[in-house]
Amino acid sequence: MPPAPREPPEPREPPALVQVRPVRAADLPAVIALDATVTGLHKADYWQRVHRRYGVGGQGLRHFLVAAAGGARVCGFVIGEVRDWEFGSPPCGWVFAIDVDPRLRQGGVGTALLAAMRERFERVGVSKLRTMLARDNTLLLSFFRSQGMTAGHLIPLEIDLAPPGAQPR
Ligand SMILES: CC(C)(COP(=O)(O)OP(=O)(O)OC[C@H]1O[C@@H](n2cnc3c(N)ncnc32)[C@H](O)[C@@H]1OP(=O)(O)O)[C@@H](O)C(=O)NCCC(=O)NCCS
């Protein structure tokens, strides 16, 4: 018999003075710096676009949330959205980015960010949360497993495309 699905953990109180809230334009420099600590890339234009799409124009289905320590300093973020009928799936909530300041990890901030996203998806009646991660990112895998997430029924497929101007194959 397959093992019973794991229940998500009891929501853990985020560390004192950490608040999860929607991103503000003034948070972007901190978000860009935090992303750069993980990816090594300072992608200001990309983050401006993400802010326009998820921060300003969210309309209840797209969310860009930050965790702010001491009421001000951004120490983490999560981005997600409800997508309808992709891959034949009923509307579900996708989380496609999460990051916590390395100095504040393992203190419940990631759990608080995911819980806040989950709550927003539940509020609009979505009953499934999905994400995707690099298979060698064992840290993220451990984190999502700790939140009760398990392998889903979708698998990613990919192919290399020819660069612009190359002869079609
Ligand atoms: C994954 C991440 C978001 C977790 O944030 P966090 O604030 O440390 O998470 P939490 O403190 O809420 O931890 C929750 C659980 O995750 C698991 N976990 C967290 N860090 C872990 C680690 N270093 N090793 C193993 N498990 C870990 C544990 O099960 C933990 O529960 P426990 O503290 O009761 O053991 C954070 O480590 C991070 O930002 N990593 C980089 C993410 C990344 O690669 N982003 C780019 C692609 S989107």
Q: Using the atom order of ligand 1, give the atom closest to the CA of residue 104.
A: 7
Cα 70 to Cα 43: distance, rounded to the nearest angstrom: 26
Band of residue 138 on the pLDDT scale cut at 50, 70, 90:
very high
- In angstroms, rounded to a whole number, what is the distance separating the alpha carbons of residues 65 and 117? 8
Ligand 1 centroid to Cα of residue 126, in Å, is 24
Give me ligand 1 centre to Cα 154, in Å: 24
Q: How far is the CA of 3 from the centre of ligand 1 (A)?
A: 24
Pair 74, 68: CB distance under 8 Å: yes
Mean pLDDT along residues 14-23 = 82
Work out the pLDDT band at 44, boundaries 50, 70, 90: very high
Q: Cα torsion at 56, 42, 35, 57 (round to 10°)?
A: 10
Instruction: Report which ligand 1 atom has the smallest distance to the Cα of 106.
Output: 11
What is the reported pLDDT for 82?
94
> Which ligand 1 atom is the nearest neighbour of the CA of 76?
39
**Cα distances (angstroms) measured from residue 98 to each of 1, 79, 87, 119, 165:** 34, 7, 23, 16, 36
Confidence of residue 9 (pLDDT cuts 50, 70, 90): low
Question: Is 145's pLDDT higher than 90?
Answer: yes
What single letter denotes the amino acid at residue 84?
D
Question: Which of 55-64, 73-82, 93-102, 121-130 is predicted with the least confidence, judged by mean pLDDT?
Answer: 55-64
- pTM of the model as a whole: 0.89
Question: What is the per-residue DSSP string for 75-105?
Answer: EEEEEEEEE-SGGGPPSEEEEEEEEE-GGGT
Measured CA to CA, the distance from residue 132 to residue 125 in angstroms comes to: 21
Q: Coil, helix or strand for 162?
A: coil
